[in-house]
Amino acid sequence: MELDANFEVAEATMKNKNCDNLPVPLNTCWTFWIDKTERGASAAEYEASLQKVYTVDTVQTFWSVYNNIPDVQELQKKYSYHLMRGERRPLWEDEANRKGGSWHFKVNKFDSPRVWKELLLAAIGEQFADCVSEGDDVCGVSVTVREKDDIIQVWNSDANLGTEGIKHKVNELLPGVKFTTEFYRAHYTHRSYESEKSLKH
């Protein structure tokens, strides 16, 4: 996948940036990823398209990444951004994701940047902690650019513990946004899920 040069600039910027303020640590580190998914792509092709952008562990490094990568509205269709807890990859079959699932929200392109930003902040600020079951957590947020409406996903670690709480929290955080579709799906129920290794999402 050919990435915009801004991604390389962003990494260099963060390595060389001197913050005047003391670092504010996040509860856990989070990793930004980008990919481009083509219909019918092989697992190897998808794996080749998935690229790690940067791992952030402070509020300052989060904003350094966010402010130095292209805005959602600048991405071409079929591209996706992901923010995943720790070093886990945005793959259904990643060891840390196999038992999980995600809420899917279809959103008007006009609202996509706002929704993406708000949910990123909610994730790193652990605002979903009070709406998930004990033993579960929100482990990722994704946005995928489509021809018409875009797709937002909120990933959780345990599909058996998935509740409507995450959906309610998303709507609470974004009261002015109307989602045309809202549904939950466990990763293993996708037709392209592979029990050992799959590189689709």
Task: Classify residue 185: in a domain, yes or no.
Answer: yes
pLDDT tens per residue, range 119-162:
999 999 999 999 999 999 999 999 999 999 999 999 999 999 87
Task: Classify residue 117: in a domain, yes or no.
Answer: yes
pLDDT at 175 over 60: yes
Q: Is residue 189 within 8 Å of 88, Cβ to Cβ?
A: no
The CATH number given to whatever domain includes residue 159 is 3.30.760.10
pLDDT at 117 over 50: yes
Task: Classify residue 115: in a domain, yes or no.
Answer: yes
Q: How many domains does the chain have?
A: 1
- pLDDT of the residue at 7: 55
pLDDT tens per residue, range 82-103:
999 999 999 877 788 889 899 9
Helix (H, G, I), strand (E, B) or coil at 5: coil
Domain containing residue 48: 23-87+99-198
How far, in Å, CA of 103 to CA of 156, rounded?
8
Phi/psi region, residue 158 (left: phi>0; alpha: psi -120 to 50; beta: rest), is beta
How far, in Å, CA of 67 to CA of 115, rounded?
16
